[in-house]
Amino acid sequence: MKILAGHHGHDSNICYVEEGEIKYWNKLERLTRIKRDSGPPETALLFPEVRISIPLEKLDCTVLGTPYDTVRGVNEPRIFNWKNYFKDKEFIQFPNHHLSHAANAFYGSGFEESYALVIDRNGSLGFDEKGRPIGCQTETLYLCSYPNKFKVIYSNIAWVGITGKYGLISERCGIADLDNGKTMGLAAYGSNKKDISYKLINKNLIAKNFTMFDNIVENSRYRDDILLDMDNSYPNEDIANFIQRETNKNILDIIEEIDFEVCDKLCYTGGHAHNCLTNFNIKQKLGDKIDFYVDPIPDDSACSIGYAKYTWYDKTKSLDKFPMKDIYNCGG
């Protein structure tokens, strides 16, 4: 079975899977030279080097996903354009953003069974019983097994989760959105200041049980309060040091609750899995008794891999494994 998947969002990307193996994967920015290009992923097919790698006429189905898979009015034109490009091919809209991260990590790990912890700024929207949005998936834990069983063990729904708060503090330090790796680096130059912890915690900026908001408007007000009301007397490096330590603690709290008696393997993915300081802390906590796999492409750049792999296993019910051997051997 031959499947082509596309991710339409920041870092748009495509992946072609044939009989379970990745034959081609690439980010749109590598082709257009536009940083974090969020254009239609089918744009990649305009480039000859992509067209010769993907047999479009032989595709069995195509899959499209976005970070906004449940947002009406956003997805419709993206879906229409993708479907129109491939016309007679079977089309599947991927149902959940965090599921794509988990699938990419689990199928790449080579584990027979594993937990998959996804932590990023936001995933699919969550709704109350009246259908009103109450937040996005920010942290999700799955128990994964072949061919395509992904049982949700834990899912946090909030407007601002662990990575969201890390991003807000990064903005306070003058670091642009999606450049949070610079905050991690800056943290090494800071020191532990208890007065910073007191001020931020009392403003409900950091809490183990994350604040949930009634609507997105309230979230935007909250963001402005954080950025405008913080005391500028604190050095950026001390603030970065604080948010790095608190983030490590919050993620280790989640790790602490995982029942490793059920399964002794853990995959870790989502945008925050780029944070090597947190990864080191997780590895130290797990020790040598738990197998720990960090997704080598944990951000949205590889969502199309998750879409394609999950769909292939869903359709074929195969138990064959095709672990990630080389992130550079994906045709990009």
pTM, to two decimals: 0.88
177 lies in the same domain as 265: yes
At residue 196 the predicted structure's pLDDT band, cuts being 50, 70 and 90, is low
Tens of pLDDT along 12-59? 999 999 999 999 999 999 999 999 999 999 999 999 999 999 999 999
User: What's the whole-number average pLDDT of the chain?
Assistant: 85
Tens of pLDDT along 100-123? 999 999 999 999 999 999 999 888
At residue 146 the predicted structure's pLDDT band, cuts being 50, 70 and 90, is very high
320 lies in the same domain as 277: no
Number of structural domains, the chain? 2
| pLDDT of res. 71 | 58
Q: pLDDT at residue 201 above 80?
A: no
Domain membership of residue 85 as a residue range: 1-94+299-332
Contact 123, 96 (CB under 8 A): yes
262 lies in the same domain as 144: yes
144 lies in the same domain as 256: yes
266 lies in the same domain as 146: yes
279 lies in the same domain as 181: yes
150 lies in the same domain as 251: yes
135 lies in the same domain as 222: yes
11: left (phi over 0), alpha (psi -120 to 50) or beta: left
| pLDDT of res. 42 | 96
74 lies in the same domain as 103: no
User: What's the CATH number where 44 sits?
Assistant: 3.30.420.40
191 lies in the same domain as 319: no
Q: pLDDT at residue 207 above 50?
A: no
Point out the least confidently predicted range of 64-73, 147-156, 309-318: 64-73
| pLDDT of res. 230 | 55
